[in-house]
Amino acid sequence: MGELIHPVGWLDEPKPRPVTADASSGWREYNSATLDGAVLGISSRLPTHSYQLQPHDINSDFYDIDKLFCGYDHYQGWFPR
């Protein structure tokens, strides 16, 4: 991630839904890295601005690109292959 993402996490535009993220909805991130690939420091993140996914939060929905993008374009899907 570059400098566009504030150290506290994803800011208020667009408004997060739900207000406080969890493993299944809201602003989430997993193993975030800098543009150079180094581990990103997340100690300044606020719970209302980012949810740090843990390995147990990741399931097959995140690994299947078709499931990941199925809601795009009013559930017409986006299949970037």
Tokens of 61: 């929905």
Res 8 pLDDT > 70: yes
Report how many domains make up the chain: 1
Q: Tell me the C-alpha distance between 56 and 70, whole Å.
A: 22
Q: Tell me the C-alpha distance between 24 and 28, whole Å.
A: 8
Please tell me what DSSP assigns to residue 3: T
Question: Which residue range forms the structural domain that includes residue 45?
Answer: 1-81
Phi, psi of 40 (to 5 degrees): -85, 130
Lowest mean pLDDT among 14-18, 39-43, 72-76: 14-18
pTM score, whole prediction: 0.59
Lowest mean pLDDT among 1-5, 19-23, 34-38, 54-58: 1-5
pLDDT on residue 56: 79
